[in-house]
Amino acid sequence: MSEKTQRLIDEISQFLAEERRLFGEWDTMSANPRGQSSPPLQPGDCSSLEELRKLCETTDDLKTDLENTRLVFGVGSPKADLMVIGEAPGYHEDKQGEPFVGKAGQLLNKILKAIKFEREEVYIANILKHRPPENRDPSGSERERSLPYLCRQIELIDPKIILCLGRVSATTLLGIDESLSRMRGKFHSYMDRDLAVTYHPAALLRNPQWKRAAWEDVQMVRKRYDQLRGKTH
């Protein structure tokens, strides 16, 4: 072996030794340094609702202080032009793994039907994907941790209109501290989409006098929905 060849081999060996010191040994099958884990998957990395659901199933940050709760991801058409967003799952939602299946869900179904929507036509989700203890309002930290996952869900579904049910849902998405009465009755802009706010069905069950205002809100949503789809009554 010539002196020049030996010197070249020594230089390469030194280079590879330095690479291993800095980055670890490389696995040629995965193109990742051995002993170093890949960066954790983020909501924005998910290219489908199913990928996002699987990520949510393994994400502890989405869980609340209530132990052994079930993921309530969302339900409905993945191509829905109307997305309905509530606050958090309750007892029945946790048991079934589906949002709005209790008494409030039954009322929501009636409201949707009254403005000519079937439940299967829209997409229904919540700010939180796990039930909080004693059905309390979602805390600020819970909402903050959950929001990136919901935002990606909205991007993947790509609705034309978002209908927020309740103050918690609306203030979380809009990032404002405002009363529901001041937010309802008009459209807001969120992620380049129209966002409307109305009373949560559970609140309507406790306060029937608000049903007229809620009816006006959802009629407004139906009218805008038809306008955006190029339809007229």
Per this entry, what is the length of the chain?
233
Q: What is the pTM of this model?
A: 0.82
Task: Evaluate whether 157 touches 52 at the Cβ level (below 8 Å).
Answer: no
Task: Evaluate whether 33 touches 24 at the Cβ level (below 8 Å).
Answer: yes
With CA atoms as reference, report the closest residue to 83 among 75, 92, 72, 73. 75
**Residue 118 belongs to domain with CATH number:** 3.40.470.10
In a domain, 172, yes or no: yes
In a domain, 175, yes or no: yes
Instruction: Decide the pairing of beta strands 193-198 and 188-190.
Output: antiparallel
Q: What is the pLDDT of residue 41?
A: 85
Q: What is the pLDDT of residue 27?
A: 44
In a domain, 162, yes or no: yes
24: left (phi over 0), alpha (psi -120 to 50) or beta: left
Q: What is the pLDDT of residue 13?
A: 66
- H or E, element range at 31: none
Task: Evaluate whether 35 touches 23 at the Cβ level (below 8 Å).
Answer: no
Mean pLDDT by 10 residues, the chain (233 residues): 61 65 50 57 94 96 94 98 97 96 96 97 98 93 97 98 98 96 97 97 97 98 94 57
Q: What is the pLDDT of residue 215?
A: 98
φ, ψ (nearest 5 deg) of residue 114: -65, -25
DSSP 170: H
SS3 state of residue 172? helix
Task: Evaluate whether 85 touches 125 at the Cβ level (below 8 Å).
Answer: yes
φ, ψ (nearest 5 deg) of residue 100: 55, 65
In a domain, 27, yes or no: no
Q: What is the pLDDT of residue 40?
A: 73
In a domain, 113, yes or no: yes
Provide the token pair at 169.
Answer: 């849902």
Residues sharing a CB contact under 8 Å with residue 156, sequence separation 6 or more, in sequence order: 46, 48, 49, 52, 78
In a domain, 169, yes or no: yes
φ, ψ (nearest 5 deg) of residue 29: -75, -35
Q: What is the pLDDT of residue 52?
A: 98
* Residue 165 burial (10 A CB sphere; 0-12, 13-18, 19+): buried
Alpha helices (H) in 68-210, listed in sequence order:
91-96, 103-114, 140-157, 167-174, 180-183, 201-206
189: domain range?
A: 67-228
Count: domains in the chain:
1
In a domain, 12, yes or no: no
In a domain, 22, yes or no: no
Instruction: Decide the pairing of beta strands 123-126 and 75-76.
Output: antiparallel
Task: Evaluate whether 146 touches 127 at the Cβ level (below 8 Å).
Answer: yes
Q: End-to-end alpha-carbon separation of the chain, Å?
A: 89
